[in-house]
Structures are given as C-alpha cells and as structure tokens.
Amino acid sequence: MSYNDLVSSIGKETATLREFLLLKLAGISKTNYIDDSKVFSNKEYLSKAFCLLSLYSHQESIPKKNNFINPLAMNSWKDGHNHPTETLKKWVTSRLKNNIRGGATQWRTILNTGTGINASEQQGALTFKLSYDYLNILSNYVQNKINLSALSIWYHRFIEFDSEININYLEANFCYIFGITEEEKSVLFYKKNYSLNFQDDIYDTQSIREKILETPSDLQTDLITPANNAIDLGLTAQDMKFPKLSDFPIMNTEIIARVLKDFKQVILSGPPGTSKSYWAKSIAQNDYFQKNFTQIQFHPQFSYQQFVGGYVVEGDLVKYKNGILLNILDSIGEEPHLLIIDEINRANVTQVFGEILQLLDRGNSLKIKNESNSDSKTYSLPKNLYILATLNSTDRSLSRLDYAFKRRFAEIYVPVNASILNDLCDTTDFISLATFLEKINRNLVQLTQDKDMVIGHAIFLADHVFDTETNKYKWSYESFIFLFNYKLLPLIYDYCGNDASTVEQILGEKLSSGITNPISFKSALLDFLEITE
C-alpha cells in the first residue's frame, strides 16, 4: 500500500484512542492497576511509545519540539491535540500523566473512579484501572473502526527484521505489545490484507513528514542530521526489536506449571486442535517432573475398576486388583509425579472416581480395599502428585463434569492460536493460514454464537506436508484441497447442523460447494480472503 493510503486508513480517530493505546501499552486492564509514576518513565515503555508516535527515526536527531503526532489523526497537524508541541518524552511522562490524572470528562468514565483518577495521591503516584464498561464508552468516541493492519504497519516502520514477514505477524506483534484483547479488537479495529515490501535501508522519514497534510514550516526538510543511532530517550536501534511470534504468551508451559503447582489439579479445556495434549506432555517433560508421569485416556467404557480398583476374573479366580491410581499411590516415592488424563469428559467421571472424589480436596483420607491386604488401606493424595486433564469443550455429546467435580480443579482455557501458523508453516507461494483460520473462526463464532465452535490450529500441522529442509509445514493449493474438502468442510457442516445456507455464509458460495479443481479452488480461496493476485 502507498503511504498516502496508510495515512488515510489510520487517520480517522481522536486523541482519546491514542491515549487509550498508551494506557494499554502500560498494562492497564479491568483487573490490573498501573502506577503512572513508574510506568510512564520506564525506558521500555518509552521505546514502544516512540514507535507509535514519533515523526523521526532512531537514526536522526530529534527537534526539541513538534517531534511526534497522534497517528490516529495524522491527516491533520493544525490542532494541538493531533500535534503536541512538547518533546515526546516530556509529553508522555508529564502531559499524558496529567491528562489522565486531571480527569477530562471521558477519562472519568473510562477509568475506574473508585481507585483511579479520584483516588488520593501517595508520594506523587496514582494508580488506576479501566472501568467495567470502558469498551462501550470508548465505542462512543470511535465513529469509524481503526484499521489494525495499517496501524500495525505504521508502528513497525522503524523496526528491523531478520527476514521478511507478513501482515499477520505485524498485527499479532502489535496486539501483544499493546495488550489488545479479542473483545477490544472486535469493537475498535478491523483488518485488511496487505502485501508488504521490504528494503535494506530504513524508511525515508522525511517523505513521511512531507506526506502528512498541513506540515508546520519548521518541520519541512532541514532537520535531518545523523544521530549515531540514538534518540533523545537514550534508546538504541536494539531497543526497537521485539520477540518472535512463537514467543508470545498466548499459552505457555510457565502459565500451566504455575497454576498446576498452586492448585495440584488442573483441567486444560478448549476446542479440539488447540494443542491441549501437547501442553500436557510438555509439562511432563519439564525440569520439575523430569518425565516422571503416567498418561491415560478416558473413554465411555473406562471404569472405576480400571482407575481405582475392583474385583476381576483371572482364570477360575475372582480377585481384587488395584487400578491405575492406587498403583501410583503405592509406588509414588518422594519425587513429583504427574498423572495426565486425556479427554476426561469422555468417561462418566463421577462413576470412575467414585469416593476418590473426596481425596481431591487435599488433606482428606479414605480407607480403600487394596489387593495386597485383606483389610482396607488408608489413602490420601500426596503433595507431590499432580493431576492434569484435558477436556474437549466443543463436543456437547460427551459427559458433562458435574460441579462437585469441577470445583476441585483449576481450569485453563486453551484457545486457538492462529498466529503460531505464521511461524510453523511455509507460506511461500501460498496463502497465510493464520489469516484463513482467523476469518473462518470469526465467521463461525458470529453465526453459531459459541466461542468453542471453532477450528483448531493443529489441523494444519499435518505430518505429510512437513518439509524437513525448512522444518516447516508446507502446503500447496493442490494438497490443501484435500484437507479443506475432507476435513475442514465436514467439520464446519457439523458445527452448522448440516445447514448448507449457514455454511455458505461462513465460507462463501464457491468454497462451500466443495471444489476439487485446483485452479478453481485457488480462485475461490483467494476470493474468500479478498486477495487479488
């Protein structure tokens, strides 16, 4: 896209949205307070605010004033709120802080007023968080949604990359850095597909300034001088670099391990194909458990006798035999042990656990018959035994876990992570699978009104397309036809109750018809993604 298009795509909103982004950058949320005396002067915070607001690159000298703008209103500089006259550092660390503290009308409603802008200051500091209804209030200031794709391109204009990346990376990185939630994306932003061109040298920032309308005369062309890769905040080019997409904490073992250590019993729930079993196995492999784990899978015929113990027939004899759990308890030792239960809701858990349910309240003990004793033996769940279960939240035909059982488990929802496909899949001469998956899932949720009726990212990680040379999954239009027609399409029909008109609303008329001709399929796929070759 041209820079003129970029300016017109972004520059439609108000200073309120700019300040909201800066608060999100500081980590504010409905539950998280921020301390403005610490956050706004933080070097890392300022480097990221610089990427959003600065008119000059880190390779230029910075004027003492008129050196930054509001990118959400950058088609005009004449108004002070669009084009502040202070330095970026001064404005962020003092004026922005004062704007929020001062409590302009909109901020008195957007921020929590109980402990926020009306709270007493302590040693010059002030803490606040977002109000419960902040998005509805903000939406009143957003007459046109913000182009997330264009804003992400703008934000990354000074950042160096090791290799060429796509627009999905930029959007994901922007949302990660600013803590943009899915709900905020839905209310405040929209996306477009852009092709990106990369160059070895940094973008000509002089041309950026010249393309913005009503440029102040003192900012024309005579202020660019070398600055030894430093800006007035004391930052270097290295400060402008950010993590790989695969490093983003949508879900990671640290989150799961912390919850597991705190609560002993955890359920990983979510739609199929979101890597729940992968995360469970990763926990078992970490330094804490060191592969000291037992993995089982529940199914409709899985019984109490198999899990706890019971009488079984062996030849001509009927004898009591320990189940999986009692064997673990009899042999556990002192080291941490992890019991992984895959698909826990595929069995009748109330029957399978029986009276063991009481032991999930750690500290309780029970007398249970043991195969090595004629009398019952007292059991409890030791502190070094952890239980990690996976649960398919989409399949409503499976056994539902009752509240007495679920309250004894912490639950972590594992969402679809479409963005990870940008790292794991080779998209050379092919579409962005992340964009494709995000659009399908967005349409599915909108029509089914169910956040679990989505396609998991793991469906695209098929062994038969793994390329050992690039260590990536490499799809072509020819190979993708079979995945789409014989796995994705039937699943979408299931989600939609086999209603063809609903499927057509999700996929469009062409794709929903099940095209097998490679040329026609490619054309339909590009039409669905609104991509012009």
Which pLDDT band holds residue 462 (cuts at 50, 70, 90)?
A: very high
CA dist 222 and 60 (Å) reads 12
3-state secondary structure of 517: coil
Which pLDDT band holds residue 484 (cuts at 50, 70, 90)?
A: very high
Q: What backbone torsions phi and psi does residue 28 show, to the nearest 5 degrees?
A: -70, 150
Which of 24-28, 229-233, 336-340, 356-360 bottoms out in mean pLDDT, i.e. has the lowest? Answer: 229-233
Phi-psi region at 429: left, alpha or beta (left = phi > 0; alpha = psi -120 to 50):
left
Decide: 12 and 72 in contact? Cβ < 8 Å.
yes
CA dist 45 and 25 (Å) reads 7
Count of C-beta atoms within a 10 Å radius of residue 512: 21
Which pLDDT band holds residue 224 (cuts at 50, 70, 90)?
A: very low
Work out the end-to-end distance of the chain between its first and last CA atoms, rounded to an integer number of angstroms. Answer: 14
* DSSP of 108-139: HHHB-TTTSTTSPPBTTB-EE-B-TTHHHHHH
CA 418 distance to own-chain centroid: 9
- Give the highest mean pLDDT range of 218-222, 272-276, 368-372: 272-276
Q: Using CA of residue 166, residue 171, residue 177, residue 179, what is the dihedral sign?
A: negative
Decide: 187 and 138 in contact? Cβ < 8 Å.
yes
Residue 221 has pLDDT above 50, yes or no: no
* pLDDT (average), residues 271-293: 89
pTM of the model: 0.58
pLDDT at 238: 54
CA dist 423 and 419 (Å) reads 8
pLDDT at 67: 76
pLDDT at 428: 76
Selection from 326, 261, 8, 255 nearest residue 146 by Cα: 8
List CB contacts of 280: < 8 A, sequence separation 6 or more.
268, 295, 340, 342, 388, 390
Decide: 3 and 208 in contact? Cβ < 8 Å.
yes
Q: What residue spans define the domains of the chain?
A: 3-245, 253-413, 418-528
- Look up residue 316 and give its DSSP letter: T
Q: Which residue reads 């909103």 in tokens?
A: 13
Selection from 146, 152, 196 nearest residue 172 by Cα: 152
Domain 253-413: which CATH number of 3.30.470.10, 2.170.190.11, 3.40.50.300, 3.30.70.20 = 3.40.50.300
Which comes out higher in pLDDT, residue 121 or 225?
121
Residue 399 has pLDDT above 80, yes or no: no
Decide: 383 and 263 in contact? Cβ < 8 Å.
no
CA dist 512 and 216 (Å) reads 53
pLDDT at 459: 94
CA dist 34 and 40 (Å) reads 10
Residue 125 has pLDDT above 80, yes or no: no
List CB contacts of 322: < 8 A, sequence separation 6 or more.
309, 330, 370, 371, 372
Look up residue 349 and give its amino acid: V
Alpha helices, DSSP H, located in 421-488: 421-424, 433-448, 477-483
Selection from 53, 55, 245 nearest residue 161 by Cα: 245
3-state secondary structure of 318: strand
Tens of pLDDT, residue by residue over 130-158, are 888 888 888 887 777 888 888 888 888 87
User: What kind and span of H or E run contains 339?
Assistant: strand 337-342
* pLDDT (average), residues 101-109: 70
